[in-house]
Structure 1
Amino acid sequence: MTEPKLTTAMSESDRTLKLLSGARRLPGFELEVRRETVEQMFINQISQASYDISELSLASYLIAKSGGDTRLTAIPVFLSRSFRHNAIYVRADSPWRHPSELKGRRFGFPEFQMTAAVWVRGMFREEWGLGQGDLEWFTFRPERVPVDIPATLTEGDLFEALVEGRVDAVMSARRPPEALFPASGEGGAVRRLFPDVWDAEREYYGRTGIFPIMHLVSLKADAAQRYPELPRQLYELMLGVKNEGIAGQLETIKNNTSDPWAWESVERSSKLMNGDIWPYGTAANWAQIVKFMAYLREDGLLKRELAPEEVFHASLLDT
């Protein structure tokens, strides 16, 4: 009997590679893997529900859901999480060393609704004492879900605009090109705003317990309806793959990365985060999602707060 084929789009990481390569199989299904950039798979999924299973921006998913879009559901698997203190850049000759010093300045994002940008604006308000009207906002690509935003859409490249002085600071999930920002993080035309950024991120986590979620895993609602066992099976499989990936990072017979001190980093993270450095499941993450929805509402991007059963498939509310 031929197994049902599910189109699948996810970025490669230790949390997905075994699934995408076929090393770990989803029982009863064949996965047809589509190769796209993260940005393109987000556009395809949120605009057309192009994939049965897809990595997706947390912000865009929640915005669409609050607007009544029922084409997608999700499982509490978070393929991207990142502290974003390290993603704020200024010119190397800038006098600023902290976000609180940017009042009245011009700040650029790739996109206003992108999850990382929502987290950063929330931290501007809650952590650094600057409200939405205290900075002038600029974006550099169209919004993937149509929304009204208090930002000016600008032509050109985000980092070129920074170097040329058209904006004073930017947030970018992608690292600047090496010509502007060397691998050492020093000596280029741009630098990170925070001089002690890694300590700042650990302090933030130690105080808040938040390791910011960026992306979740979406499913077509009709696929979940046709195959009621699919959401739970996929969740259990991806939880196992993630846990195996973390265990692999700690294995010392060979280094799974090219970083000679990767083991130290994982051990330090495990100590700070009480052993679970990348949590999946509804219970461990719902409080953070509620905070994120509050940030979205403060930005004017979310029409209403969503309940857990509106965000995640009903079969996974007990995770």
Structure 2
Amino acid sequence: MTQPKLTVAMSESDRTLKLLSGARRPAGFEIEAKRETVEQIFINQISEAAYDVAELSLASYLIAKGGGDTRLTAIPVFLSRSFRHNAIYVRADSPLRHPSELKGKRFGFPEFQMTAAVWVRGMFREEWAIRGDELQWFTFRPERVPVDIPATLAEGDIFEALAEGRVDAVMSARRPPAHLFPASGEGGVIRRLIPNVWDEERAYYERTGIFPIMHLVSLRTETVERHPELPRLLYELMLDIKNQGIAAQLETIKNNSSDPWGWESVERSSKLMNDDIWPYGASANWSQIGKFMGYLREDGLLKRGLAPEEVFHPSVWHT
């Protein structure tokens, strides 16, 4: 008997590669991996529910859900998490050295609604005492979910705009190009705003317990209605893949990455984060999602907070 085939669209990482390659798959299903940039995956999934299973921006998913969109459900598998202190850039000759100095400045995002931008604006308010109306916001591509935003859509490339002085600072999830920002992070046309940014990020985690969620795993509702066992099967499979990936990073018989001190980094993170450096599951992450929904509401992007049963499929509420 032919097994049902799932279209799956995700960025490649140690959390996804075994699924995308077909080395691991949910029992009873075949996998058809779709190769797209993560930005294109988001556009396709949020606009058309194009894939049975797809990585998706946390912000876009929650905004769509809050607007009554029922085409997608989700599981608490968080394929991207990132501190975004390191993603704030200024010109190398800028006198600015801390986010608190940005009051009244021109600040650029790729999109206003993108998850990383929501986290950064929340930190502006909560960590650095700058209200949203105390900066001039600029964006550099159309919003993937139609929303009203207090930002001006600018032309051109976000990093070129910074280099040319058309904005004073930017936040970008993607690293700037090497001709503007070398691999060492020093000596380029632009630089990170915060000098000791890695220490700042660890201090933020120690103070808040937050390792910011960026992306979750969405499933097409029609697919789940045909296969109600799929969300739980997929959650358990991807949890196992993630745990195996972390274990592989700690194995010293070979270096699992090209970083000579990768083992030190994983051990340091494990010590700081009580041995759970990349938590999945609803219970371990719901308070953070609640805080993030508060940031969305403060930004005017979400009218009300959502309950767990509105965000995640019932089979994974108690994970």
Cα root mean square deviation, aligned: 0.4
CA distance in 1 between counterparts of 2:303 and 2:77 reads 24
CA distance in 2 between counterparts of 1:73 and 1:52 reads 10
Aligned to 1:130: 130
1:223 and 2:223 aligned = yes
Trace 1:271-310 onto structure 2 (pairs within 5 A). 271-310=271-310
CA distance in 1 between counterparts of 2:211 and 2:25 reads 29
Aligned to 1:263: 263
> Normalized against structure 1, the TM-score is what?
1.00
Deviation string 1:117-176 (CA, Å, 9 cap, x unpaired) is 000000000000000011000000000000000000011000000000000000000000
Shift of 1:225: 1.1
CA distance in 2 between counterparts of 1:286 and 1:298 reads 18
Q: Which runs of 5+ in 2 are unaligned?
A: none
1:254 and 2:254 aligned = yes
Deviation string 1:164-194 (CA, Å, 9 cap, x unpaired) is 0000000000000000000000000000000
Aligned to 1:313: 313
Aligned to 1:51: 51
Shift of 1:303: 1.7
Deviation string 1:189-247 (CA, Å, 9 cap, x unpaired) is 00000000000000000000000000000000111111111000000000000000000
CA distance in 1 between counterparts of 2:286 and 2:232 reads 18
Aligned to 2:189: 189
CA distance in 1 between counterparts of 2:283 and 2:318 reads 7
CA distance in 1 between counterparts of 2:318 and 2:9 reads 26
- How many matched pairs? 319
Matched letter for residue 264 of structure 1: E
Aligned to 1:151: 151
CA distance in 2 between counterparts of 1:144 and 1:70 reads 17
1:37 and 2:37 aligned = yes
Matched letter for residue 142 of structure 1: P
Aligned to 2:140: 140
Shift of 1:249: 0.3
Deviation string 1:12-38 (CA, Å, 9 cap, x unpaired) is 000000111111122100111110000
Aligned to 2:104: 104
Q: Which runs of 5+ in 1 are unaligned?
A: none
CA distance in 2 between counterparts of 1:209 and 1:303 reads 26
Matched letter for residue 137 of structure 2: W
Matched letter for residue 218 of structure 2: S
Give % identity.
82
Aligned to 1:233: 233
Runs of 4+ that moved beyond 6 A: none
